Amino acid sequence: MLATGDLRWGICGVTQRSGKIAALLDPQDCRYTVLERGPDAALPRVVSTLCGVLDGSADPSAVVALLAREDIRIITLTVTEKGYRHDPATGDLNLADPEIAADLTDRPPRTVVGQLSRGLQRRAEGGAGPVTVVSCDNLPANGRTLRRLVEQFIDAAGAPQLAAWVAERVRFPSTMVDRIVPATTAEDLVEVRERTGLRDEAAVVAEPFRQWVIEDDFATDRPRWELAGAVLVDDVEPWETLKLRVLNASHSMLAYLGLGAGYGTIAEAVADPLLADACRKLITSEVVPALKAPSGVNVTEYGESVLVRFANPALRHTTAQVAQDGSQKLGPRLLDTASQLLATGAEPRWAALGVAAWMGHVGSARSLDDPLESVLRAALGGSPADEASRLLDIDQIFAPELARHPVFRTAVITTYRRLLEHGVRGVLAEDLRA
């Protein structure tokens, strides 16, 4: 809006699981401060592009009605991996999920895919015209993945006419969005108040860096995001894969290794040369050979720039936050690299270390923040080899071909046992010397 002066566009936010953010934003006219922290941070800025926030948890029918409005042209989703309620190993919608099953009855839908599909259905019925759906989450081929989930929902709902309408009128471009935005803390709100003189209950803290690569495939006109730095390309997948396998994979490695080594934040974890070097090994010896990088990008240099961003101490991004929902994150971050490397005959030792470190977290965490928590807990007990084997056999997470691959299986089981015996730093010191 600032770059173009085009004020016809605005954003209506929708919260999914609780009304908390809506309740915070409402009394402040949906304005909120973005506080950048770190080198080259801009001054705090109040953003006023939100024109409303709907509490989808209190009023799911209102979400369906909103999505069906003719003046809604673009629906973006930032709902985290687990919000898609799919099976990470196959990418299929989890039709056994009780909430998805309930959304397939005629209750007002409560899941993301349910609300989206019902919203599109209402749109088709009301003649509201074409629309573009943009996933902004860390899923491989996020646009294609989301399209498939919507198609599977519509198929399960037995609505072939709607499927045809969606095929014709709805676009699902993929995107790669990158900015580290840790959960806001009470201290952050105090700092915003000190720096701006404004009491803001909904402020957001972020690193200065931001990147948005979007597949230029829209069903209608769109804001000219390229004037504000977004990059529009024909094919986003190399960008998404790069980010998932380098940035997000190192993030998860640092979170699980860091928790095991007693580090509370990502900046502390990456400041330990053993942990940083483990990420470097993962990137140079396993990600690089398996990755089709976007043209012109040097993956090793990209990896170094990511580690510099992680080292920003002012962000205070906790290892516990990044460690959440590991069952949903391992696949695109580490397992895809492992599978591709195995296919070339190489051993993915560092990816296996990341998986073993995740197992260490699963085994030791007092509270496990993961949609598969009960399945994970049920796999624990017995010897380290038993635990690692049972975790590898969870087929929602590990595709059977990978879990049964003798090289990968042995690497994970052995490393898990060594982590329990020698600790994170002990194992790293030995493996980095080798």
For 11-49, b/e burial (b = at least 16 CB within 10 A) is bebbbbeebebbebbeebebebbbbbbbeeeeebeeeee
> Residues touching ligand CS2: how many (CB under 6 A)?
9
CA distance 128 to 70: 4
Task: Find the shortest distance in angstroms from Cβ 265 to ligand CS2.
Answer: 13
Binders of ligand CS2 among residues 326 to 365 (CB under 6 A) are 329
State the number of CA atoms in the 13 A half-sphere of 300 facing the CB: 7
Task: Find the shortest distance in angstroms from Cβ 211 to ligand CS2.
Answer: 8
Please, which residue, 209 or 218, has the CB nearer to ligand CS2? 209
CA distance 175 to 289: 24
Please, which residue, 153 or 256, has the CB nearer to ligand CS2? 256
CA distance 177 to 184: 19
* Inter-residue contact 129 to 220 (CB < 8 Å): yes
Which of 179, 193, 222, 377 binds ligand CS2 (CB under 6 A)? It is 179
Task: Find the shortest distance in angstroms from Cβ 139 to ligand CS2.
Answer: 11
Which of 36, 178, 188, 240 binds ligand CS2 (CB under 6 A)? It is 178
Please, which residue, 321 or 410, has the CB nearer to ligand CS2? 321
Binders of ligand CS2 among residues 242 to 271 (CB under 6 A) are 248, 251
Please, which residue, 81 or 215, has the CB nearer to ligand CS2? 81
CA distance 250 to 354: 9
Task: Find the shortest distance in angstroms from Cβ 175 to ligand CS2.
Answer: 12
Please, which residue, 159 or 206, has the CB nearer to ligand CS2? 206
Task: Find the shortest distance in angstroms from Cβ 87 to ligand CS2.
Answer: 19
Site string for ligand CS2, 302-321 (x = CB under 6 A): -------------------x
* Inter-residue contact 175 to 213 (CB < 8 Å): yes
Site string for ligand CS2, 73-112 (x = CB under 6 A): ----------------------------------------
Task: Tell me the three state secondary structure of residue 289.
Answer: helix
Task: Tell me the three state secondary structure of residue 54.
Answer: strand
The stretch among 106-114, 154-162, 173-181, 374-382 that binds ligand CS2 (CB under 6 A) is: 173-181
Token pair 């369906």 is at which residue?
A: 64
138 binding ligand CS2? (CB under 6 A): yes
CA distance 36 to 77: 23
The stretch among 29-37, 172-180, 284-292, 419-427 that binds ligand CS2 (CB under 6 A) is: 172-180
Please report the DSSP string for 219-232 in residue order.
SS----GGGGT-EE
- Write out the two tokens for 16: 């999914």
Task: Find the shortest distance in angstroms from Cβ 137 to ligand CS2.
Answer: 9
Q: Of 369, 368, 349, nearest to 428 (Cα)?
A: 349
Which of 322, 334, 342, 353 binds ligand CS2 (CB under 6 A)? It is 322
Token pair 């929602």 is at which residue?
A: 396
Residues binding ligand CS2 (CB under 6 A): 138, 178-180, 248, 251, 321-322, 329
